[in-house]
């Protein structure tokens, strides 16, 4: 599904960018995902991209709408919203090799159908907007937040046009921090 793939694209970029050295920024306007990936890789070529180790975080969907959702019974709508608001925890090990290769951590380009309208990452702040096209309809995604070598906090939004899932819009918050060395067996 194009929607899920695009969210993974933004999330993959977020994870890859979350702990970039703030000494060299990245700025792009109306550029392909691949071009931005290359700029990010160039910005961190002199050292590790993210600090290796165990990372833990949460993703919380703060708002979601979809065409036809208003036709669901109010009780079902509230149950869906309550379940989404609970959030989801994640944890993963970032090896030293992964930390040195940001392009490998960024998601694939979705067949060249996405372009960054703007992408600014410097001095611990990230602000990006991406537009994607697909047979199901256009989608716009934004990402704003802060990052350091050990943590990040982001707010993301995705808005689609079309019927059913293609017309889904959502807002989410994501935060993560490095918790220490990787767990035995994860490396």
Q: Please give the Cα distance from 7 to 66 (Å, whole number).
A: 15
- For the ranges 80-89, 101-110, 132-141, 161-170, the lowest mean pLDDT is seen at 101-110
Q: Region 146-173: what's the mean pLDDT?
A: 88
pTM of the model: 0.76
Averaged confidence pLDDT in the chain: 78
DSSP 95: -
With contact defined as beta carbons under 8 Å apart, do 84 and 64 qualify? yes
Q: What's the pLDDT tens digit per position in 101-121?
A: 666 555 444 455 889 999 998
Order of strands, sheet of 53-65, starting from the edge strand that comes earlier in the sequence: 26-32, 114-122, 125-132, 139-147, 151-160, 169-180, 53-65, 88-94
Q: How big is the chain by its Cα radius of gyration, in Å?
A: 17
């Amino acid at each position: 599904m194009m929607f899920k793939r695009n969210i993974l694209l933004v999330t993959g970029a977020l994870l890859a960018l979350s702990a970039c050295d703030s000494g060299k920024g990245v700025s792009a306007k109306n550029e392909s995902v691949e071009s931005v990936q290359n700029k990010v890789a160039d910005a961190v070529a002199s050292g590790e991209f993210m600090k290796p180790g165990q990372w833990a975080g949460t993703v919380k969907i703060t708002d979601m709408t979809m065409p036809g959702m208003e036709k669901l019974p109010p009780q079902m709508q509230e149950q869906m919203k309550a379940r989404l608001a609970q959030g989801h925890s994640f944890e993963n090990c970032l090896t030293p090799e992964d930390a040195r290769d940001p392009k490998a951590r960024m998601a694939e380009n979705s067949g060249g159908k996405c372009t960054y309208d703007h992408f600014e990452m410097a001095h611990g702040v990230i602000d990006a907007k991406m537009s994607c096209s697909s047979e199901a309809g256009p989608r716009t995604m934004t990402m704003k937040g802060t990052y350091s070598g050990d943590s990040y906090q982001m707010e993301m939004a995705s808005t689609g046009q079309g019927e059913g899932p293609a017309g889904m819009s959502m807002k989410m918050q994501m935060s993560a921090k490095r918790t220490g060395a990787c767990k035995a067996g994860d490396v």
